[in-house]
Amino acid sequence: MSTTTTSRTRGPLTGRATPVRRARRRVLSDAWLYATIALIVVFCILPFYWMIVSSLKGPRDILDNQLIPWHPTLVNYQAVFGGQNTFGLALKNSGVIAGSVTVVALVLGVSASYALARLTFRAKNTILAAFLATSMFPGVAILTPLFQLFANFGWIDTYQAMIIPDISFALPLGIWILTSFFRELPWELEEAARIDGCTRLQAFRRVLLPLAMPGVFTTAILVFIAAWNEFMIANSMSQTPVSQPVTVAIAQFSGISQFDQPFGTQMAAGVIVTVPLVIVVLVFQRKIVSGLTAGGLKG
Amino acid sequence: MSTHTGTMRTTRDARTRRTSRTARPNEARLAFWLVVPAMMVLTVIIGYPIGEAMVRSLYGDTIGGTAPFVGLSNYVSALVGTNSQEFWASAGATYLFAGVTVTMETLIGFGMALVMTRAFRGRGLMRASVLVPWAIPTAVTAVLWKWSFDPAGIINAVTGSHIIWTGSEWPSRTAIIIADTWKTSPFIALLILAGLQIIPDEVYEAAKIDGASAWQRFRLITLPLVRPALLVAVLFRLLDALRMYDLPAILTNGANGTTTLSILVVRATLSQLKPGYGGALSTLTFVFIFLTAYAFVRALGVHVVGRSEK
Contact A228, A94 (CB under 8 A): yes
Report CA-CA distances (Å) from A261 to B27, B147, B150: 60, 11, 14
Q: Please state, as a whole number, how many other Cβ atoms lie within 10 Å of the Cβ of residue A5.
A: 15
**Pairwise CA distance, residues B188 & B130, whole Å:** 11
Q: What is the pLDDT at residue A165?
A: 92
Residues of A in contact with B47 (CB under 8 A): 134
Residue type, A163: I
Rg (chain A; Cα; Å): 25
Q: How far is B81 from chain A (nearest CA, A)?
A: 22
Q: What is the pLDDT at residue B105?
A: 95
Q: What is the pLDDT at residue A100?
A: 96
Report the length, in residues, of chain B. Answer: 310
- Select from A229, A270, A286 the Cβ nearest to the Cβ of B124: A286
Q: How far is A94 from chain B (nearest CA, A)?
A: 12
Q: Please state, as a whole number, how many other Cβ atoms lie within 10 Å of the Cβ of residue B193.
A: 27
| Pairwise CB contact (< 8 Å): B232 & A176 | yes
Residues of A in contact with B1 (CB under 8 A): 125, 128-129, 132
| Pairwise CB contact (< 8 Å): A40 & B7 | no
- Tell me the three state secondary structure of residue B59: strand
Q: How far is A70 from chain B (nearest CA, A)?
A: 16
Confidence tier at B185 by pLDDT (50, 70, 90): very high
Q: What is the pLDDT at residue B103?
A: 96
Environment class of B25 (CB within 10 Å of its CB; exposed 0-12, middle 13-18, buried 19+):
exposed
ipTM above 0.95, yes or no: no
Can you list the alpha helix ranges (DSSP code H) found in B83-153?
A: 84-116, 123-135, 138-148
| Pairwise CB contact (< 8 Å): A278 & B132 | yes
Question: How far apart are the two ends of chain A, measured CA to CA in Å?
Answer: 22
Residue A225: name the closest of B128, B179, B195 by CA: B128
- Read off the pLDDT of residues B257-275 as tens digits, 9 standing for 90 and up: 889 998 998 888 877 888 8
Q: How far is A19 from chain B (nearest CA, A)?
A: 15
Residues of B in contact with A44 (CB under 8 A): 129-130, 132-133, 182, 186
| Pairwise CB contact (< 8 Å): B53 & A139 | no
Residue A258 pLDDT more than 60?
Answer: no
Confidence tier at A248 by pLDDT (50, 70, 90): confident
Q: List B residues 136-155 in contact with A (Cβ-Cβ < 8 A).
A: 136-141, 143-145, 147-148, 152-154
Q: What is the pLDDT at residue A1?
A: 40
Choose between B268 and B17: higher pLDDT. Answer: B268
Residues of A in contact with B188 (CB under 8 A): none
Distant-in-sequence, close-in-space partners of B201: CB < 8 Å, separation ≥ 6: A293, A298
Q: Is the CA virtual torsion A274, A280, A284, A288 positive or negative?
A: negative
**Pairwise CA distance, residues A263 & B278, whole Å:** 33
Contact B6, A126 (CB under 8 A): yes
Nearest 5 degrees, angle CA B215-CA B220-CA B223? 90
What is the pLDDT of chain A when averaged over all its residues? 81
Q: Is the CA virtual torsion B296, B298, B300, B301 positive or negative?
A: positive
- Select from A40, A167, A200 the Cβ nearest to the Cβ of B130: A40
Q: List B residues 191-220 in contact with A (Cβ-Cβ < 8 A).
A: 191, 193-194, 197-198, 200-202, 208-213, 216
Q: How far is B215 from chain A (nearest CA, A)?
A: 11
Contact B264, B246 (CB under 8 A): no
Q: What is the pLDDT at residue A260?
A: 55
**Pairwise CA distance, residues B58 & B54, whole Å:** 7
Residue A37 pLDDT more than 80?
Answer: yes
Residue B23 pLDDT more than 50?
Answer: no
Contact B226, B188 (CB under 8 A): no
**Pairwise CA distance, residues A283 & A296, whole Å:** 22
Contact B236, A135 (CB under 8 A): yes
Q: List A residues 177-206 in contact with B (Cβ-Cβ < 8 A).
A: 177, 179-181, 183-184, 200
Q: What is the pLDDT at residue A17?
A: 52
Residue B54: name the closest of A164, A232, A137 by CA: A137
Instruction: Note whether B130 contacts A: Cβ–Cβ < 8 A.
Output: yes
Residues of B in contact with A5 (CB under 8 A): 209, 211
Q: How far is B135 from chain A (nearest CA, A)?
A: 6
Q: List A residues 58-77 in contact with B (Cβ-Cβ < 8 A).
A: 63, 65, 67
Contact B249, B265 (CB under 8 A): no
User: What is the three-state SS of chain B?
Assistant: CCHHHHHHHHHHHHHHHHHHCCCCHHHHHHHHHHHHHHHHHHHHHHHHHHHHHHHHCCECCCCCCCCCECCCHHHHHHHCCCCHHHHHHHHHHHHHHHHHHHHHHHHHHHHHHHHHCCCCCCHHHHHHHHHHHHHCCHHHHHHHHHHHCCCCCHHHHHHCCCCCCCCCHHHHHHHHHHHHHHHHHHHHHHHHHHHHCCCCHHHHHHHHHCCCCHHHHHHHHHHHHHHHHHHHHHHHHHHHHCCCCHHHHHHCCCCCCCCCHHHHHHHHHHHCCCHHHHHHHHHHHHHHHHHHHHHHHHHHCCCCCCCCCC
**Pairwise CA distance, residues B245 & B265, whole Å:** 10
Choose between A41 and A79: higher pLDDT. Answer: A41
- Read off the pLDDT of residues B64-105 as tens digits, 9 standing for 90 and up: 667 788 888 889 888 888 888 899 999 999 999 999 999 999
Distant-in-sequence, close-in-space partners of B3: CB < 8 Å, separation ≥ 6: A125, A126, A129
**Pairwise CA distance, residues A297 & A291, whole Å:** 10
- Select from A111, A180, A293 the Cβ nearest to the Cβ of B228: A180
pTM confidence score? 0.84
Q: What is the pLDDT at residue B19?
A: 39
Distant-in-sequence, close-in-space partners of B1: CB < 8 Å, separation ≥ 6: A125, A128, A129, A132, B293, B294, B297, B302
| Pairwise CB contact (< 8 Å): B197 & A290 | yes
Instruction: Note whether A16 contacts B: Cβ–Cβ < 8 A.
Output: yes
C-alpha of B234 from chain center: 7
Contact A260, A57 (CB under 8 A): no
- Which residues are paired to B59 by β-bridges? B69
Q: Please state, as a whole number, how many other Cβ atoms lie within 10 Å of the Cβ of residue B161.
A: 11
Confidence tier at A13 by pLDDT (50, 70, 90): very low
Choose between B210 and A59: higher pLDDT. Answer: B210
Q: Which of A22-31, A133-142, A160-169 has the highest mean pLDDT?
A: A160-169
Q: How far is A83 from chain B (nearest CA, A)?
A: 21
DSSP state of B142: H
Distant-in-sequence, close-in-space partners of B307: CB < 8 Å, separation ≥ 6: A183
Report CA-CA distances (Å) from B105 to A147, B108, B179, B194: 34, 5, 11, 16
What is the pLDDT of chain B when averaged over all its residues? 83
Question: How far apart are the two ends of chain B, measured CA to CA in Å?
Answer: 23
- Select from A14, A122, A231 the Cβ nearest to the Cβ of B213: A14
Confidence tier at A255 by pLDDT (50, 70, 90): low
CB contacts < 8 A, A to B, total: 348
